[in-house]
Amino acid sequence: MSLNTFCYTGFDNLKQMWLRKYESSSFQKDCEYLWNQVRPEDPIPAHLFGNMWSQTWEHLSDFLAPYPNATMFDVTEALKKKYTQDKAGVTEMFKVANEFFTSVGLHDMSVSYGPKAQVVKPADREVVCHASAWDFSNKKDFRIKMCTNVNQEDFVTIHHELGHIQYYINYKNLPETFRQGANPGFHEAIGDVAALSVNTPKHMMKIGLAENQAGISKESSINYLLKTALERVAFLPFGFLIDAYRWKIFDGTIKRKDLEYEWVKMRSEYQGVVPPVIRDEEDFDAGSKYHVPGNTPYIRYFVSHILEFQLYKALCITAQEYPANPLHECDFYQNKDAGAQLKKLLEAGASKNWEIILKETIGQDKMDASAILEYFAPLLEYLREYRAKMNYPIGWSKTAFEALVKRE
């Protein structure tokens, strides 16, 4: 009996077990399709990214800003002026984020950052600072754990965590089994949908964190979109490959003797990165990513990064913010119709197949990457022109990785 059949009752292998929540026999193919929709037309030159796994590239945004003299939209200074770096100040930041959700008619979430929650790093003990949101499954206790710092990045993370809490509260009256995201990607997407709206200069002005039109010139828009793309688009190949690699191990396509070789090969193929030094089968670089030894599925993050833009676009259409404005300028703040649409999705939890929930709430029954492409369209146009003008050399050899990994 193989290890896989031994452990997982009713499933042929661990891949089947992990994918069961997507309730779709074509799910792996669908992810391939989504990846092909967003993959660059040309290979990406890749060197060092300031991230151990090259999973996001935003550390390069200072070097790469297309218009270094235009504003880099950032409200960190404004936040620091307004809020103190302590529990009281941080709680005020949570209140502002909470108000975004209540402004569209969703539930108040004060309980999640109240006295029982941990919203700043405790001075007297070591804690795991990775931000998380918790459902105590008693229909009334929901808490966030976060070592919040007063800056724009954490302001966005607050919205991400509150998205989880909002989901918990909306489906709390369903039977326990259905108290989950429609599929695991949905749970990660909700707060980020809010964050896309909050991050617009228009919204920051409405809530008093930006004073003037700073950030809405065409140049600073491109700067902003590039910075966002280095984080959210550059993540896509990584978000996809972690499980694409493991699915191949689980179903036997990748043999044990080739674990490192196949990893390096897929990193080259999907992300366009190669290891800085020679590797062999004594190495197991994939194991450096927490989710691999932690045996945690990862495709939900790929799914959520696509879904987030799809849901955002649907809400922006409902709020009549789009197509009146470019998609990246849409703010559905205070729009009760958009809120009602999101609420319907949240209240359904996992009580139906996610494709049915998607159909009933936004009228589409498939995940689709056209919204993320639309969001970044002005940037894409800029990059195409830039490339043509500079005659910029693009691409990397598909076989260069071979020299960097020794095969048994």
Active site residues: 161, 291
Host H or E run for residue 131: none
From 25-33, 182-190, 292-300, 346-354, span contacting Zn ion (CB under 5 A): 182-190
Distance of CA 48 to the CA centre of its chain: 21
DSSP character at residue 402: G
Pairwise CA distance, residues 162 & 133, whole Å: 7
Distance of closest approach, residue 270 Cβ to Zn ion, in angstroms: 23
From 188-196, 258-266, 382-390, 392-400, span contacting Zn ion (CB under 5 A): 188-196
| Pick 163 or 215: Cβ nearer Zn ion | 163
**Interhelix angle for 354-362 vs 336-347, to 10°?**
160
Name the binding residues for Zn(2+): 160, 164, 188
From 183-191, 245-253, 266-274, 343-351, span contacting Zn ion (CB under 5 A): 183-191
Whether the CB-CB separation of 224 and 196 falls below 8 Å is answered with no
Which residue has the closest beta carbon to Zn ion? 188
Whether the CB-CB separation of 394 and 387 falls below 8 Å is answered with yes
206 bridge partner residues: none
| Pick 154 or 188: Cβ nearer Zn ion | 188
Name the binding residues: 160, 164, 188, 300
Distance of closest approach, residue 299 Cβ to Zn ion, in angstroms: 14
Amino acid at 229: A
SS3 of 118, please?
A: strand
SS3 of 265, please?
A: helix
Burial bucket for residue 128 (CB in 10 Å: 0-12, 13-18, 19+)? exposed
Distance of closest approach, residue 198 Cβ to Zn ion, in angstroms: 16
Residue ranges with strand state E in 108-183: 132-135, 142-145
| Pick 161 or 262: Cβ nearer Zn ion | 161
| Pick 188 or 321: Cβ nearer Zn ion | 188
| Closest by CA position to 266, among listed 291, 289, 286 | 286
- Count of residues near Zn ion by CB under 5 A: 1
| Pick 58 or 188: Cβ nearer Zn ion | 188
Distance of closest approach, residue 197 Cβ to Zn ion, in angstroms: 18
| Pick 58 or 161: Cβ nearer Zn ion | 161
Pairwise CA distance, residues 259 & 280, whole Å: 9
Half-sphere exposure of 359 (CA within 13 A, CB side): 7
Question: Vertex 42, ends 39 and 44: CA angle to 5°?
Answer: 80
| Pick 11 or 134: Cβ nearer Zn ion | 134
SS3 of 71, please?
A: coil
Distance of closest approach, residue 176 Cβ to Zn ion, in angstroms: 20
Name the binding residues for chloride: 300
What counts of helices (H) and strands (E) characterise the chain? 17, 2
Quickly count: other Cβ atoms within 10 Å of residue 188's Cβ. 20
Which residue carries 């929540």 as its tokens? 21
Which residue carries 């913010």 as its tokens? 321
Pairwise CA distance, residues 309 & 375, whole Å: 8
Distance of closest approach, residue 146 Cβ to Zn ion, in angstroms: 11
Distance of closest approach, residue 163 Cβ to Zn ion, in angstroms: 8
Instruction: Retrieve residue 340's tokens.
Output: 């009602």
Instruction: Retrieve residue 312's tokens.
Output: 């955002």
Residues that bind Zn ion (CB under 5 A): 188
